[in-house]
Structure 1
Amino acid sequence: MILPLLAVLFGLIVLVISSDRFVDGAAATARYFGMPSLLIGMVIVGFGTSAPEIVVSTLAAIQGNPGLAIGNAYGSNVANIALILGLTALLNPVQVSSKILRKELPILTLITLLSVGLLLDLEFSSFDASVLLLLLALLMVWTIFNGLKKEPDALAVEVDQAVPKPLTLKKALLFLIFGLLFLILSSRILVWGAVEIAQLFGVSDLVIGLTIVAVGTSLPELASSILAAKKGEHDIAMGNVIGSNLFNSTAVVGVAGAIKPFVIDGLVLRRDMLVMTLLTISLFIIGYGFRKNRQGRVNRFEGTGLLIVYAIYTIILIRTA
């Protein structure tokens, strides 16, 4: 029992550190090769923080633990909105000024609804995985197209300030390569420990994926969002959540399903997918900006509400495990 717990703890610590180095290295390298700031914000910062989720879920699927893979992806989506954005807004209200992020919110909502639709038959087939991976490809094309535009955007301005400038190209590449290597290594350790704990307690790997692993792989987003909000980089804080959830719902689930199609419990659809969908719709409503100034905002009151929802969801999850 002690060894699996230590494996999970060690895996999470190394996962957070290596993910941070990986994103910093990728962003600095992209800047050296002339990638526009907006594209760095949308791809590297937005999607890059989901590197732990895709590595963990891919390894889980390869090792025959699809429950852990799907739980990690959708559990991270719930944690990103309810826990991370809620805590970030409680510490410092998040204002959404970026036009790009406002465009991504309805896209995230539609992809979430489609994900639910694909799982209504309680089976995630190779065809379902292909649909999500096709959506990922289209999303990347749209992202690159918008990221290469020279129109001014608040996210680009914040990325200019946030991307580490002192890094030399050699150091940036070392961060990128070794960050990825330790990301894979720590993910393998984390998956092994999580599966062992699930078996010892007689809990499904899905529940472990929705709780310990989901929160653990979301720690990079938590650290990045809180730090960004404290610096006044609100669009990066929101972009972390939106980009991560888009990547989780398409790439993470799609890759896991392509490796090994799986059957899900109806409870996942009625409980976890329902909570994720309602949170995503709520994020769209409060983050899009239907007010006259056309700016979204997540205030402390809304942040507190999101945290309460996450606490209730976690209690229900444990009781129905």
Structure 2
Amino acid sequence: METGVLVDLIKLIVGIGVLVKGADTLITGASGLARRIGVPEFVIGLTLVAFGTSLPELTVNVQASFQKASEITLGNVIGSNIANILLILGIAGLIRPLTIHRTFVKKEIPLNFLSILVLFAMVSDRLLDGSSLSFVSRSEGLVLITTFVGYLYFLAAFLERENVDKDGTEMGLIKGGILIAIGLVGLVLGSEWTVSGGVNLATALGVSQVIVGLFLIAVGTSLPELLTSAVAAYRGNPDIALGNVAGSNIFNVSLVLGASALVNPIPVPDRVFRDLSVLFVATLLLLLSNYMGRRYSVSRMEAGILLTIYVVYAVYSWYREIYP
């Protein structure tokens, strides 16, 4: 392996690690500080804990938009969402079969389908308008941000109605402020290293930025969801594992992609419909798993199927990229 490629790979891996740790540190400090000043528990869960696992995707995508590497942004969002369902739920379900709350089936999964359909419409400029190029424009980014605000309102109403609380401890002002500052620095540096390392690696290996975003960066920035869901499954908390994945997928499409498009319009590569179709099928399989075998559950066999599909999809995508 050439020295330059090795340096870029190390930069990418270290950047992802700093991103994940920075997000965790920021959320720890912010949630502890919020409790200290009397912010309601459900608000903390809504705005910090749920939002926290999407911070790596958000910072990477915004950084990529500023660096004119916008192809990474769309690949990162779609790739992260595919990994969340096929890879993360596959691993979590193998650790322990997942029992699914009916609310998840009736509300969260339909919202995930809706976000995919909206994204399909936004990347179909050539089909719908006859345009020579397709972009996710700034105005569409604003629509996605508005959708994100609406989703926050939906979550707030649900949490308040269900009286959902989360355990946690207060934190001193100085300690909380230091953790927040460290977390923010980690997010900024980590996103810079991740994007520059990923772009350089794609150039050196002769693969597209979309592929790097779909797999290397997408899986790397999904590590918070992977760790959260795996631990939740191991501890017998399937609602956390499933809710974390579903909420993160909606956050990625609405907030992460919306914020990226506001910075710079996002060009749509030709292969995006294939990857969006995989995401749609993955979400459909998750829905069908609730009605096959034991109702409202993901068995180990079904989890193994999800994981196998992800491996096949990843191998096929890399093969098509190298041998078109």
**TM-score normalised by length of structure 1:** 0.88
For 2:271, the equivalent position in structure 1 comes to: 267
For 2:319, the equivalent position in structure 1 comes to: 319
Answer yes or no: is the 8 Å Cα contact 1:89–1:299 preserved in 2.
yes
Offset from partner CA, 1:175-219 (integer Å, 9 cap, x none): 233112211111111111111101111111111100100000001
Q: 2:74 aligns with which of 55, 70, 73?
A: 70
Instruction: Provide the C-alpha distance between the structure 2 equivalents of 1:37 and 1:290, rounded to a whole number of angstroms.
Output: 34
1:44 matched to 2:32:
no
Instruction: Provide the C-alpha distance between the structure 2 equivalents of 1:189 and 1:89, rounded to a whole number of angstroms.
Output: 33
Shift, 1:226, TM fit: 1.0
**TM-score normalised by length of structure 2:** 0.87
Answer yes or no: is the 8 Å Cα contact 2:36–2:171 preserved in 1.
no
Instruction: Provide the C-alpha distance between the structure 1 equivalents of 2:38 and 2:158, rounded to a whole number of angstroms.
Output: 16
Alignment of 1:5-154 (within 5 A): 5-97=9-101, 99=103, 102-121=106-125, 122-149=134-161, 151-152=162-163
1:213 matched to 2:217:
yes
For 1:198, the equivalent position in structure 2 comes to: 202
Shift, 1:167, TM fit: 4.5
Answer yes or no: is the 8 Å Cα contact 2:36–2:170 preserved in 1.
no
1:175 matched to 2:175:
no
Answer yes or no: is the 8 Å Cα contact 1:88–1:226 preserved in 2.
yes
Instruction: Provide the C-alpha distance between the structure 1 equivalents of 2:255 and 2:177, rounded to a whole number of angstroms.
Output: 24
Contiguous gaps of at least 5 residues in structure 2? 126-133
Aligned residues: 308
Instruction: Provide the C-alpha distance between the structure 2 equivalents of 1:21 and 1:259, rounded to a whole number of angstroms.
Output: 26
Answer yes or no: is the 8 Å Cα contact 1:36–1:147 preserved in 2.
no
For 2:279, the equivalent position in structure 1 comes to: 276
Instruction: Provide the C-alpha distance between the structure 2 equivalents of 1:186 and 1:194, rounded to a whole number of angstroms.
Output: 12
SS in 2 for 1:148: helix
Answer yes or no: is the 8 Å Cα contact 1:36–1:148 preserved in 2.
no
Instruction: Provide the C-alpha distance between the structure 1 equivalents of 2:36 and 2:303, rounded to a whole number of angstroms.
Output: 37
For 2:130, the equivalent position in structure 1 comes to: none
Give the direction of change, closer, same or farther, for the CA distance of 1:282–1:34 in structure 2 (3 Å limit).
farther
Instruction: Provide the C-alpha distance between the structure 2 equivalents of 1:228 and 1:185, rounded to a whole number of angstroms.
Output: 29
Give the direction of change, closer, same or farther, for the CA distance of 1:3–1:115 in structure 2 (3 Å limit).
same
Considering only CA atoms, is the larger Rg found in Structure 1 or Structure 2?
Answer: 2
Which segment drifts farther, 302-311 or 119-128? 119-128
Instruction: Provide the C-alpha distance between the structure 2 equivalents of 1:197 and 1:119, rounded to a whole number of angstroms.
Output: 26
Answer yes or no: is the 8 Å Cα contact 1:38–1:148 preserved in 2.
yes
Instruction: Provide the C-alpha distance between the structure 2 equivalents of 1:99 and 1:263, rounded to a whole number of angstroms.
Output: 36
Instruction: Provide the C-alpha distance between the structure 1 equivalents of 2:155 and 2:237, rounded to a whole number of angstroms.
Output: 20
Answer yes or no: is the 8 Å Cα contact 1:98–1:235 preserved in 2.
no
Instruction: Provide the C-alpha distance between the structure 1 equivalents of 2:96 and 2:28, rounded to a whole number of angstroms.
Output: 23
Aligned CA RMSD, in angstroms, stands at 2.2
Give the direction of change, closer, same or farther, for the CA distance of 1:97–1:39 in structure 2 (3 Å limit).
farther
